Chain A
Amino acid sequence: MTREEVENETDDMLIDGTVEQQRQDDKAVPHEVNANYLKAYYGKLFPVTDIHKWLSYGNDGKHPACDESYFGRREFSFTLENDVYLRFRSYNSASELEKYIKDSLPFKIDIGAVYSVDPSKRFAYAQSGDNVFTPVERELVFDIDISDYDDVRYCCSGAGVCLDCWPLMTIAIKVIDTALRDDFGFNHILWVYSGRRGVHCWVCDARARRLSNEQRGAIVDYFRVYKGSENSNKKVSLPGPALHPFLTTSYTHFLKPFFEEKLIHSQNLLSTEERYEKILEMIPDESVASELRGKWQDKKRSSNSKEDINIHRWEQLKNLLQSGKHKATGLRRCIEEIVFAYTYPRLDMEVSKHMNHLLKAPFCVHPKTGRVCVPIDPNRCEEFDPTTVPTLSGLLEELNSGASQMQIDSENKSDTISLGKSIKLFKSSFLHPLLKSCKVQVFLLQCCLFLQAFLYFCSIFPAFK
């Protein structure tokens, strides 16, 4: 069975009401990405000017404090049709970038760091010996893949995603987004669907862009609770008499409600022996584990209960672990550890740790699924449905069927095409607030420059004071 088939089949199982429609969509939409489709997409829909505006961070204005070379020092990387992979490309303006994209029709566009010098001319500087070619700015990025959750989801595996496991991504967005804002004080955060099996996060505050690799590593470790590799029993360990406030917040606001109200029965975590054994393994006290095992193997009693079997057993487990006789042994923490193990976000840490890591640009088309990497509103991320994301071929159909006259740039008409909504979201919730704060920063920088000039002037002409 090919992967595509697996995906479709799991889709069918889950989206009860929309199965029929979904199947039709799948038939009508060839999930193929080819140069002709891309030509139309990059020509008419891809919001290259907005991306240029974003990555210029206000440096494309006319202010004297603007750094004109800023955008030109950004690395772009492209994957072309026949797997030609190009790194360290750079462009001085939106039109240069647009021209290149329209000419070469890349299957994938990656965005890298802003370097000390123009990346395409890096060899010219390499000869001078000193390490002049280094990354100087980079958004703090996160990459979360559903395939990293394979040991805790039973509906799909690998690249497959369905509406039963996608909420794991939703919860990851909520936990990380809340901490980035409340703990670290970041404001300009963009969440993007990665096109197939996960989400990307771009933290774009000036402060975030200037973090060193070490500081990035520190943030990643702050978010990390997984200690075990495949070869240790415990995947999560939460030592200490109390949890850090960040973990408490995540647990009470997001993880616990999600686990108990949704995941536990959507994934049937305690329904079969194989599955509940995995949870019992995480209880360090063998006598407790075997007591529960005894109760659960006795099928008669549990089947009488009208309640969902998973929830019923979870309550049993909790009651036993929280009961007086086990309080002293530190088993209480075990409940939290189980919930964390099943729900806490799993970040691909290497991506976040280093400034020079590449990440796929928003609004790219995923070459395998044909889905567009659209932004996700973190405040309404539970409404996001990866199976109804605009696809390349779907968009082109919309273009051809009458809506073709409208232009994506004009605000009012863009709603008529499904991508318009995403572009609007990108602009209103991310780009506009970002540019506003960039303007303030450029203005402040200008004031500083002016003040410096003034002080210098005073020092030359002391009498002027």
Chain B
Amino acid sequence: MEIVRSQKKAPTTVDAVPITQLYKSAPALEVRLEDFEQFAIDRLRVLKGISDGLSRGKKHEEMQKLVTDLLRANMRHPDPSEVINKDIISHFVLRLVYCRTEDLRKWFLANETALFRCRFNGESAEVQRALMSELDIPHKALTKAEFENARDKLSQVARSINQPLPGSTTADTTFFKVPFEEVPDLVAGRRVYIHKGHAYVAMNQVVSLLVTKFRSHLSRALVLTNRSSVPLTVVSLPRKWTSAVKEQEKDRLSPIVEALCTSYLGPDYSQPRELAEMSIKDIDQVAKTSFPLCMRHLFEKLREDHHLKHGGRMQLGLFLKGVGLKLDDALAFWKAEFSQKVGVERFDKEYAYSIRHNYGKEGKRTDYTPYSCQKIISSTPGVGDHHGCPYRHFSEENLRAALYKMGVSSRAMEDIMDKVRNRHYQLACTLTFEAVHSSSCDAGINHPNQYYIDSQKALQSKVNCI
């Protein structure tokens, strides 16, 4: 079965090659059409799995295990020597597919980076060093004196994140002093000691440095791939690819590329469905019957306090837009509430702009899309905020109270709380849907607007039955 043939010098032994690829340039490989698609779909399964894991808030170790399982399930190849080629090919096919819009690029970048991180962590120390030098990371470690000076602080940081104290073995004393800009994730998590603009990165954190580099390489490559391409045709393949793909296959590749990129992001609900319109007079009724808990909560808080902070206004505002609330109605709706608190004048001055902005009528005139579950789950509401995903961000008592108010029975409640405890927030929401509507929701809830649409459908069919 000689279909995919490496034109490069075949690596002598498979073991010597790191599993972690940097994907610096497209390979000169011949690809069979079936493989072209199959490989890409396999990789997409991995990335989708990663994206789910991340949105569930899995920790580093859990992600590590998840990725290992995903790779084992999807990225194997009958011929062991072809595993790496499969990896490379699938990556570059998806690069083509996901370079086309900002949202696609963002999604791809986030999950490929997470994949890279997990793979790098699984490599041996030698391979890690080799990768570091390939990405031009100067590994100049702290000198003995520098280390001793910072030792107290370094061990304090280590204790704060439950890491072994530095200094117990020689490997642990290897620290790299880098500009803090290069390890934003470590800075954000307060996982490094920072002094006078330098972050002190431990050997076991070095992956962050590489991830930053990997990410910026890939991000640039995606933009370039998109720019150099005529959209939707295989001409858009990088040169080496084009030469590898025969003329007559062009027509056959194009639809594959197109189909692939829509397959996992799902609809974005930016345009309300036809005939779906909502007027202000129905809104209270509909909020009770068909809003998911996150929106229902925001809606009730707005009615109660006549105010929502920025995060809440965005989350609810865009949802209502997706539901079919017209701009004029939206303005009237928000005004009716906010003016009770801040007055009409201040509303017109400070808040109306951002509502028109959401509808693409101000600023850079982007028509913003409603937030997906994933985005809402990963948001970080602070003091005074009511947005976010109730299943993730509420305390247990508050969540129970809210569900009770929605009419969830005590038996269903326990199932829901069980999902919440295991961080399956979307499943918890799905169960809530089923409990409230007493009808099943097999597809699961991925988007508040989907919840709304499914709910309306369920209610409609009940009416029809009667």
Contacts and interface: CB of A to CB of B under 8 A. Distances in A.
Contact of B395 (A85, A218, A219, A233): A233
Contacts of A64: none
Interface bracket on A: 35 or more
A221 B180 CA distance: 13
B160 A230 contact: no
Interface in A215-270: 215, 217-219, 221-222, 224, 226-235, 240-248
Interface in A68-102: 83, 85, 87
Interface in A147-200: 148, 150-151, 182-186
B181 interface: yes
A230 B385 contact: yes
A9 interface: no
A51 interface: no
B76 interface: no
Given A229-B383, A230-B384, A245 B193 contact: yes
Contacts, number: 114
Given A215-B181, A244-B157, A185 B196 contact: yes
Interface stretch (B183-191, B321-329, B445-453): B183-191
Interface stretch (B27-35, B58-66, B246-254, B386-394): B386-394
B385 to A, nearest CB: 5
Contact of A83 (B157, B348, B387, B394): B348
B342 to A, nearest CB: 10
A151 B162 contact: no
B187 A222 contact: yes
Q: Which of A130, A218, A227, A346: most chain B CB closer than 10 A?
A: A218
B156 A184 contact: no
A361 to B, nearest CB: 18
B194 interface: yes
A230 B386 contact: yes
Nearest to A222: B187
A231 B402 CA distance: 10
B240 interface: no
B384 A148 contact: yes
Interface in B157-180: 157, 159-162, 180
B184 A214 contact: yes
B48 interface: no
Contact of A243 (B160, B194, B195): B160
Interface in A200-217: 207, 211-212, 214-215, 217
A229 B156 contact: no
Interface bracket on B: 35 or more
Nearest to B383: A226
Nearest to B197: A185
Contacts of A248: 156
A233 B160 CA distance: 23
Contacts of B162: 240-241
Contact of A346 (B161, B190, B383): B383
B390 A244 contact: no
A303 to B, nearest CB: 34
A235 B381 CA distance: 11
B78 interface: no
B383 A151 contact: yes
Interface in B366-417: 380-388, 390, 393-395, 397-398
A335 to B, nearest CB: 17
B306 interface: no
Nearest to B297: A231
B458 to A, nearest CB: 27
B390 A231 contact: yes
A151 B193 CA distance: 32
B303 interface: no
B310 A211 contact: no
A349 interface: yes
A199 B394 CA distance: 31
A218 B184 contact: yes
Given A231-B386, A243-B160, A346-B383, A215 B184 contact: yes
Q: Which of A148, A186, A242, A248: most chain B CB closer than 10 A?
A: A242
Contacts of B387: 229
Nearest to A238: B160
A207 B197 CA distance: 10
B59 to A, nearest CB: 12
Given A218-B187, A231-B395, A245 B227 contact: no
Contacts of A398: none
Contact of A232 (B180, B193, B297, B393): B393
Contacts of A349: 382
B119 interface: no
B189 A221 contact: yes
A245 B152 CA distance: 9
Contact of A217 (B188, B297, B394, B395): B188
B184 A217 contact: yes
Contact of B187 (A185, A212, A221, A226): A221
A166 B153 CA distance: 32
Contacts of A228: 382-383, 395
A28 B196 CA distance: 48
A323 B384 CA distance: 34
A350 interface: yes
Contacts of B384: 148, 150-151, 229-230
Contacts of A85: 349, 353
B198 interface: yes
A241 B159 contact: yes
B263 to A, nearest CB: 27
Contacts of B393: 229, 231-232
A150 B384 CA distance: 9
B156 A183 contact: no
Interface string A401-434: 0000000000000000000000000000000000
Contacts of A229: 381-388, 393
Given A185-B196, A218-B187, A242 B160 contact: yes
Interface of B: 153, 156-157, 159-162, 180-181, 184-185, 187-190, 193-198, 227, 297, 310, 345, 348-349, 353, 363, 380-388, 390, 393-395, 397-398
8 contacts: A185-B198, A212-B181, A218-B188, A222-B190, A229-B381, A232-B393, A234-B395, A241-B162
9 nearest A-B pairs in the assembled complex, by CB-CB distance: A185-B197, A229-B381, A218-B184, A221-B188, A242-B159, A185-B196, A218-B188, A218-B187, A244-B190
Given A211-B181, A240-B160, A241-B160, 11 more contacts: A151-B383, A207-B181, A215-B187, A221-B187, A222-B190, A227-B380, A229-B387, A231-B393, A245-B156, A246-B190, A246-B194
